[in-house]
Amino acid sequence: MSDTKTPQDTCVLVTGGCGFIGSHTVVCLLEQGYQVVIVDDLSNANEKVLDRIDQIVGPEAAERLSFYRANVNDREALDIIFDDNHVDAVIHFAGFKAVGESVTKPIEYYSNNIGNTLTLVDAMRNHGCKSIIFSSSATVYGDPDALPLTEESPKKPATNPYGWTKWMIEEMLRSLVVADPEWDVVLLRYFNPIGAHPSGLMGEDPKGIPNNLLPYVAQVAVGRRDCVHVFGNDYDTPDGTGVRDYIHVMDLAAGHVAALAWMAGRTGCEVFNLGTGKGTSVLEIIEAFSEACGRELPYVIEPRRAGDVTANCTKAREMLGWEAQYGIAEMCRDSWNWQSHNPNGFED
C-alpha cells in the first residue's frame, strides 16, 4: 500500500483464503474492518469455510467479503479479480504444502507454487498494486548453525522441493524490490501453526492422512486414527522426542494483520519470524492434547525423521508490536474444540 489508509478503505486480496491459515487470517482482517477478496480453487480447502467465516464475523462484516473460485495461476481470472476490485495489498497463501508429496511430485510443486506467484505479481504490477505479504516458512533456514533462529540467520539449502519453492519465491520477491523500489514486500517465516478458532467453527481439515502432528493427534482423539506415530525418541531433548516451535493459528493470523498495518506507506522488503520462541516436544503435545480431551492418547515410537527448530521473534515484537499470546494448552484446547464438534472436518 503506497498510501496510509484506514482498514475500512483498504481492500486485501487473500490467495488461498479458504485454507487453514488463510481462513483464520480472513476472519482477523474482517474483524479489523478490512475489505477482503478471497481467491481459492478449493483444491485443498472446502467452500463451507465461507459459511463458517460468515458465522464468526457476523452479517455486517461478512458483507465486506468477496469470493472467487479460481486458480492463482489463471491469468485471465486474476485480471477479472483485479478489474472488479481496487486491491491495495495481497496476502499470498496459495500453494501446495505437503513436504512428503513435494518429493514425489516436484514438477507439480515447482509449477504450481512458483508459477502462481509469478502470475500473481505480474497481474499485481499491471494493475498498480505493489504491496504483498508472502506466506513463507522457517524451512528456508535449512539445517541452522545456531539457535534460536533470527531473521539474520543465513538461508541454507532446502531439503525438499516444497522448501525450495519457499526459498526461491522469497528471492523472486526480493528481486522485484531491487528492480522497482516502489514494491512493498513482507516475508513472514512461520514455524508450526496449530490450534483452531476458539468458536470451534473453523480449524485444520487436511485431506487424506494428515502430514502434520496436531491434526493427526486430533484424529486419534476422535477415533479416526488408531494411535499417534512418534518419529524418534533418541533426540538430545529432555524426553528424547523432537522439539518444535508451535504457534496458535490465531496468533499467526494476527501477525499477518499486524504486518499489513505496519507496511502501509512503506516500501522495500522486510522479513519477520512468527513463532513463540518456545520449543515443545512431541510427547508434550500428546500429553497436552490428552489433557484437553480428557483421556490418554495411544502412541507408538517410529524411526526418527528430521525435526524443526525454534524462533527468535524479537523483531516482530519490536517492529510490528506483535507477540504470540497463546500457549500449548490453549492450542490443544482449541484444536480439540474444533475436532470434537467437527469429527469429519467440514464434511459434517
Residue 7 preceded by cis peptide, ω within 30? no
Band of pLDDT at residue 2, cut at 50, 70 and 90: very low
In this predicted structure, what is the pLDDT of residue 144? 86
**Is there a contact between 112 and 95 (Cβ–Cβ < 8 Å)?**
yes
pLDDT at residue 193, rounded to an integer: 95
The arithmetic mean of pLDDT across residues 302-319, rounded, is: 83
Q: What is the mean pLDDT of residues 41-67?
A: 97
Give pLDDT tens digits for 203-251. 999 888 888 899 999 999 999 999 999 999 998 889 999 999 999 999 9
- Predicted confidence (pLDDT) at residue 166 exceeds the cutoff of 80: yes
Q: Is pLDDT at 65 greater than 50 in this prediction?
A: yes
Question: Bigger pLDDT: 270 or 212?
Answer: 270
- Delimit the domains of the chain by residue range: 9-193+247-274
Question: CB burial class (10 A; 0-12, 13-18, 19+) of residue 146?
Answer: exposed
Active site (annotated) includes residue 162: yes
Question: What is the mean pLDDT of the segment spanning 134-146?
Answer: 91
Q: At 60, which amino acid appears?
A: E
Take residue 8 and report the three cell numbers written for it: 475500512
Which entry of 34, 68, 109, 162 is annotated as an active-site residue?
A: 162
CATH code of the domain made up of 9-193+247-274: 3.40.50.720
Single pTM value for the model: 0.96
Q: Does residue 308 have a pLDDT over 80?
A: no
Q: How far apart are CA 347 and CA 51, in angstroms?
A: 13
